[in-house]
Amino acid sequence: MPVEHYLGPGEEVVSQHGPFYATSVRVVRFEVLKDGREVVRSLPYSSLETVELVTKPRHSLMVLGTVTAILALPMFFYLPLTATIMFVAGVGVVIVGGVGREAFYQLHARNMTPEEAKLWRIPRQGSGQLVASIRYTIRDKLEF
């Protein structure tokens, strides 16, 4: 593992997902650029405050539900039952789209700028072990 070259004495990798590594001392982001350069960034556990699960609304579903509900309104005069079903379905789709989906985990550290925060977004898919390791180490509450 190339990241081992950047670890300190006694530091070991506990968990890994994509470019993110949870070590015994810190969280490391290790990337190899297209030109072959290696970029290493790290956050010591002492500066980490929490790990937040961020959800994003599904705007396409919300638009679809809104259009369906609006198209149902003129139909109330001609086909009241069909219009009612369309309107309720449209509102339901808007609600489902607004609830959102789990998108990524955001690491929050003291004095972190918005640009730095973007670097510390861990994709949700497949990162459960990594996030659990980080949360356990910083004593953050785990979600069940």
pLDDT in tens, 109-137: 988 898 998 899 998 888 888 998 888 88
Q: What is the pLDDT of residues 40-67, one digit of tens each?
A: 999 999 898 888 888 778 888 888 888 8
Mean pLDDT calculated for residue range 65-86: 87
Q: Are residues 12 and 51 in the same domain?
A: yes
Q: Are residues 106 and 40 in the same domain?
A: yes
> Which pLDDT score, from 0 to 100, does residue 64 have?
86
Q: Are residues 10 and 48 in the same domain?
A: yes
**DSSP-derived secondary structure letter, 100:** -
Q: Are residues 95 and 105 in the same domain?
A: no
Positions of E strands within 1-119: 13-17, 20-23, 26-32, 38-44, 48-56, 101-109
Q: Are residues 51 and 105 in the same domain?
A: yes
Residue type, 105: Y
Q: Are residues 69 and 85 in the same domain?
A: yes
Within a domain: 84: yes
Beta-bridge mates of residue 16? 21
Q: How far apart are CA 56 and CA 106, in angstroms?
A: 13
Q: How far apart are CA 103 and CA 57, in angstroms?
A: 9
Q: How far is CA 88 from the centre of its chain?
A: 30
Q: Are residues 51 and 76 in the same domain?
A: no
Number of domains in the chain: 2
End-to-end CA distance of the chain: 32
Confidence of residue 139 (pLDDT cuts 50, 70, 90): confident
Q: Which residues contact 35 (CB under 8 A, 6 or more apart)?
A: none
> Which pLDDT score, from 0 to 100, does residue 144 have?
42
pTM of the model: 0.68
Within a domain: 143: no
Report yes or no: 104 and 52 within 8 Å, Cβ to Cβ: no
Q: Which residues contact 17 (CB under 8 A, 6 or more apart)?
A: 122, 123, 126, 127, 129, 130
**Residue numbers of the domain that contains 82:** 58-99
